[in-house]
Structure formats: C-alpha cells, structure tokens
Amino acid sequence: MKRTIALTAVSVALVLETSIASSQMAAPAKIADTSKGKTWVDADGMTLYTFDRDTTPGKSACNGKCATNWPPFTAAADAKTTGDWSIIVRADGSKQWTYKGKPLYTWMDDQKPGDIDGDGRNNVWHIAAP
C-alpha cells in the first residue's frame, strides 16, 4: 500500500513537471496558412514579418515611425526564450520576440487574420516563415 501511494505521488509529480515544462517551452506564436504559404502569427492570428534591414544581432533597426507602421511583436517582461525563439531589448527598453535571430513585427494595414499585405513591402519586409 505504501509503495502504491509512493508510486502514485511520483507519477503525479512527473506529470506536473512535464506540464509546467511544456507550458514554459511553448512558442510565443503559432503557425497559420496564408495564400503565400505557412507563416508565424501572433495570438490574434495576425501575420508576423521580418525586416531585411535587421542585420545587427540582438538589435532592431525599425524604430520611431517604422515601429509605428510595423509594431514589434512584443514579449512580456517575464517571457523566457525557448528553442529558436529569443528576446531582444529594443531602443525604447521594451522587449521583442525574435525567431532564429530575426526580430518580428506585425503590419499596421493588416486588418484581419490571414492578411499578408505587408509581404514584399519596399522589397524589405517578408512574412516570417517557420
């Protein structure tokens, strides 16, 4: 009886630990299908983009008016990196998610999930493909 209780307690602890680890390791974005293929989207289903001018590791080149037009995909203050997902600190002190080292953004003119109007904009903006 004592052995059964001990094994049950160990099993419950392992399940809880696995659940906690899985929730902490979840990607901050999800994959969605668009007319141009699969792309990363935020929690609202809005397309995420990369910017060709983001060439300095750990730094976003899109600030000021650029960041107004292309809002950064912000990370919560307590967000943790996981796998290909990292976090950079922007010039204004806010945190931004990156995927494989590329900062991610949304586009102000995308109105609904599935919109990809920012793709190819000025030949420097692209959907963030998984």
Q: What is the pLDDT of residue 11?
A: 44
Q: Is 50 domain-assigned?
A: yes
Q: What is the pLDDT of residue 3?
A: 56
How many domains, in total, are found in the chain? 1
pTM of the model: 0.81
Q: Is 94 domain-assigned?
A: yes
CA pair distance 98, 77, nearest whole angstrom: 15
The answer to whether residues 67 and 74 touch, using CB atoms and an 8 Å cutoff, is no
CA pair distance 51, 120, nearest whole angstrom: 10
Q: Closest by alpha carbon to 106, among 19, 41, 38, 12?
A: 41
Per-run averaged pLDDT (10 residues), the chain, 130 residues = 48 40 70 95 98 96 98 96 96 96 98 97 97
Q: Is 122 domain-assigned?
A: yes
Q: What is the pLDDT of residue 26?
A: 85
